[in-house]
Chain A
């Protein structure tokens, strides 16, 4: 196929899809509202258009309108979606087609395919990958079942399945998130569509996997010449893969243009604000993110840490933490397998500081935080907590001491939706910790709750409301307020912002920073997002397969990342700066997350732990056995 031989010629050609004055209205019990309002843009042939915006901006609704899979409450009430596919005789106006008509069924999945954000839930758990992928082909092409399976195998091989024949018979839950998304891509591409709609295709994936998936989409696009409509809120992803960018806000286009124009000369204040809200690596030492909506709190300026004895050393310390899990084997007579989730982890959290724990999903970071919280018993090692009277082993605490520890260490969860009880009002949620620990009279609790709400910038009138009436960011602030109710010393934050939009993320990160300086809190901040950790942490520990592989003050970690895994992680973060593109070639292999395949001297063979070695003050790296012997 000839594309991009002459960019001008491509531009002159009629666009594959042109949306004109599209309006989508929602009709709900609480009233009608317009989700998409007079949207107009083009998707040229063979190019990638990124649709950017916060959640609720109408970008996903636009995608659903193109496929006519809007929910029952939504309806296209105006405008046109002209689809000019070379495979069809004449251009069609999708907006005028019946959602369940024959013509729409042919387009849907045949000429326009879609992949979704959650590869876990977008595939049926009851059907094999082979069945679900070949089904797409069987609907749209006149092929026999065997041919369809043959084609499925080819596509699976193309999207990077190591053993496509076996993959046909596997179920989605047997695959990793990355492979599931690859299967989704295979399902979308098996019919060779001319337009691929990717709705947040990498948001639920780890950074290294994200880079691989983006790379794959780019490659396939070059091969087939299809157009891609990429829906995302991540400006880093946009900067790396989009040709054109459309920025949406509340159903309207704020700004549109080529990638160059958008990133070099952002005109619209909304886009500029969005860019300022994203944490970047090259931020100055005391630079603050600027959220689109700042949290305002009068109380925050006045509160201060309660007077209490301060520990001499670190407030929290983990020594040689080790945890193994036994997995049931999948086969009939298989032996249960042992998984070493956490291997001899040492951590130190100084008072009033933030320790960032970074790693991809499954690396053991959550297990570590659970052991610190004493929700899990370690197999070896101990956790020491110092409340000013000297360090004590957390897992030996009993009775009164344990209750005190519970008060001192609180948890902030990842998912603001499921971590609040939907049947409890804000008042009940926030007073529950006080009631459990028998603190204060009802009047005092009421005062305390009002103070807490103000501290996280929420209105006191929300006391009688239930969690469902709050947005994701507001709920996360409620979660923070609940964690603060008992005046803790340490907060364990497990991915507290990864479920939030960029603009809200900046808001919550700033709030956490302000609370720390006002209340003298210490944070253990667990995240997979290096840029976020860079923004909030003082010291960063990088975890991989249960090992801490590198630990350093953040300045030296980013200036001089030594371990190959740290380097790979850093290289995989898409930067919203088009002068610093991702190096896809480097990230193509999976070798960097397997300790047995790290290059010498970092290689750790199975069954060994390696040793931490200090290369500059505070900067420690895990080395394999060879170097240990040299040192001895």
Chain B
């Protein structure tokens, strides 16, 4: 087990190194960078003070050095102008666009993103698992068709459209504004109880909107998996023992059908971060999605690089978690035998 963990940690590290290189060089791929663009603009306006500041930043972040050196400095394995200060040292760099350290720009947004997405994941599972069990056990019944139909509608509706519709009608009928993740008056306030209440109230709509598409596909997959398992012999055995249908279902086929979903956790997390960008824009949620989008557009390299690396770490850690969970719930994987 310990050897397995060490091996996994090693491959994780290698993966992250490769991803970081890819991320960095892809961001650098288009000619120019944020600061040089800025300097051109400022030159045109003859704003010398700003130019000096920009040139100072270029020096400060070694943007005048070759790309590979910049990369190594960003990672933190070779000393930059300020000694070792890169991702490894916990220095996430400077956002030129916001003119603030990256940590200050993303700070709250990161946690809000994680919270929103956690809520979405929980919502998807709570809604789809019972529906999937219902429609699998009553295959080809009216309820099954209905669930399938609604599922397809959910799958086919673009989330941003749904967000727009809800935004409009909720405001028109109930006079509620559902944009943002808390009332505007709480912006910049510390997290006290009224702000948390406001946050929870605002969480509902984004959760439903982002979760609905996921719910539909989850129902489809869970239903198919369960139907597979329902035909298996061990389920008949369980019933032949005298176990009631619900108990037998939950203890045997349902548990067997969970494996693919646990294996999917690693994929789910990053997908939710990047997948909800459109909805976040429409609902003006203060999550990292919109920040990432503008950072990429403006070639704000450290900000974009950091967010992408954050997603990558999330993915890799998610994969590790799902592997460990799988080994925990499935003895066949734990013992490395059987079929």
Q: Do A and B assemble together? A: yes
Chain A residues engaging chain B, CB cutoff 8 angstroms: 67, 69, 100, 105-110, 113-114, 116, 118, 121-128, 135-136, 139-140, 171, 173-174, 184, 187, 328, 330, 332-333
How far, in whole Å, are A107 and B339 apart by their CA atoms in the complex? Answer: 33
Partner of A123, one of B1, B234, B240, B251: B234
Q: A124-B256, A187-B241 are in contact. List 10 more A-B contacts (CB 8 A).
A: A105-B244, A116-B237, A121-B232, A125-B332, A125-B338, A126-B252, A139-B241, A174-B337, A330-B335, A332-B1
CB distance from B332 to the nearest CB of A (A): 6
Considering only residues 214-247 of chain B, those with a C-beta below 8 Å from chain A are: 232-234, 236-245
Residue B329 at the chain A interface, CB threshold 8 Å: yes
Against A, the Cβ 8 Å flags (1 = close, 0 = not) of B2-40 are 110000000000000000000000000000000000000
How far, in whole Å, are A127 and B238 apart by their CA atoms in the complex? Answer: 12
Contact A123 B337 (CB under 8 A): no
Contact B242 A122 (CB under 8 A): no
Q: A105-B244, A139-B243, A171-B332 are in contact. Are A123 and B339 (CB under 8 A)?
A: no
Contact A116 B242 (CB under 8 A): no
Contact B233 A121 (CB under 8 A): yes
Residue B79 at the chain A interface, CB threshold 8 Å: no
Residue of B nearest to A131 (CB): B251
Residue B194 at the chain A interface, CB threshold 8 Å: no
Contact A135 B339 (CB under 8 A): no
Against A, the Cβ 8 Å flags (1 = close, 0 = not) of B247-262 are 0000110011000000
How far, in whole Å, are A83 and B329 apart by their CA atoms in the complex? Answer: 41
Partner of A118, one of B233, B238, B335, B337: B233
CB-CB under 8 A from A128, the residues of chain B are: 331
Residue B108 at the chain A interface, CB threshold 8 Å: no
Q: A105-B244, A135-B241, A173-B338 are in contact. Are A116 and B236 (CB under 8 A)?
A: yes
Chain B residues engaging chain A, CB cutoff 8 angstroms: 1-3, 232-234, 236-245, 251-252, 255-256, 329-332, 335-339
Residue of A nearest to B253 (CB): A124
Partner of B337, one of A109, A136, A330: A330
Contact A69 B240 (CB under 8 A): yes
Q: A118-B233, A122-B234 are in contact. Are A174 and B241 (CB under 8 A)?
A: no
Contact A136 B242 (CB under 8 A): yes
Contact A173 B339 (CB under 8 A): yes
Chain B contact residues: helix, strand, loop or mixed: helix
Interface centre among B1, B240, B244 (most CB of A within 10 A): B240
How far, in whole Å, are A452 and B119 apart by their CA atoms in the complex? Answer: 62
How far, in whole Å, are A299 and B238 apart by their CA atoms in the complex? Answer: 51
Interface centre among B233, B245, B251 (most CB of A within 10 A): B233
How far, in whole Å, are A418 and B95 apart by their CA atoms in the complex? Answer: 59
How far, in whole Å, are A95 and B68 apart by their CA atoms in the complex? Answer: 79
Contact B241 A123 (CB under 8 A): no
Q: A110-B242, A126-B256, A126-B329 are in contact. Are A328 and B234 (CB under 8 A)?
A: no
Contact A174 B240 (CB under 8 A): no
Residue of B nearest to A331 (CB): B335
Contact A328 B329 (CB under 8 A): no
Partner of A109, one of B2, B232, B241, B339: B241
Partner of A136, one of B241, B338, B339: B241
CB-CB under 8 A from A135, the residues of chain B are: 241, 243
Contact B330 A126 (CB under 8 A): yes
Partner of B244, one of A100, A107, A136, A173: A100
Contact A125 B336 (CB under 8 A): no
How far, in whole Å, are A139 and B241 apart by their CA atoms in the complex? Answer: 8
Contact A328 B244 (CB under 8 A): no
Partner of A174, one of B3, B237, B338: B338
CB-CB under 8 A from A124, the residues of chain B are: 234, 237-238, 252, 256
Residue of A nearest to B1 (CB): A332
6 contacts between A and B (CB under 8 A): A124-B252, A124-B256, A125-B234, A171-B331, A187-B241, A332-B2
Q: A118-B233, A171-B338, A174-B338 are in contact. Are A125 and B241 (CB under 8 A)?
A: no
How far, in whole Å, are A136 and B242 apart by their CA atoms in the complex? Answer: 7
CB-CB under 8 A from A67, the residues of chain B are: 240
Residue of B nearest to A173 (CB): B338
Contact B234 A121 (CB under 8 A): yes
Residue of A nearest to B339 (CB): A173
Q: A116-B237, A122-B237 are in contact. Are A105 and B242 (CB under 8 A)?
A: yes
Contact A140 B242 (CB under 8 A): yes
CB-CB under 8 A from B238, the residues of chain A are: 124
CB distance from B93 to the nearest CB of A (A): 42
Interface centre among B239, B244, B252, B336 (most CB of A within 10 A): B239
Contact B240 A114 (CB under 8 A): yes
CB-CB under 8 A from B332, the residues of chain A are: 125-126, 171, 173
CB-CB under 8 A from A100, the residues of chain B are: 244-245
Contact A106 B242 (CB under 8 A): yes
CB-CB under 8 A from A136, the residues of chain B are: 241-242
How far, in whole Å, are A128 and B251 apart by their CA atoms in the complex? Answer: 13
How far, in whole Å, are A139 and B335 apart by their CA atoms in the complex? Answer: 30
Residue of A nearest to B247 (CB): A139
CB distance from A81 to the nearest CB of B (A): 16
Contact B244 A109 (CB under 8 A): no
Residue of B nearest to A111 (CB): B242
CB distance from A382 to the nearest CB of B (A): 32
How far, in whole Å, are A116 and B237 apart by their CA atoms in the complex? Answer: 8
Contact A123 B237 (CB under 8 A): yes
Contact B338 A109 (CB under 8 A): no
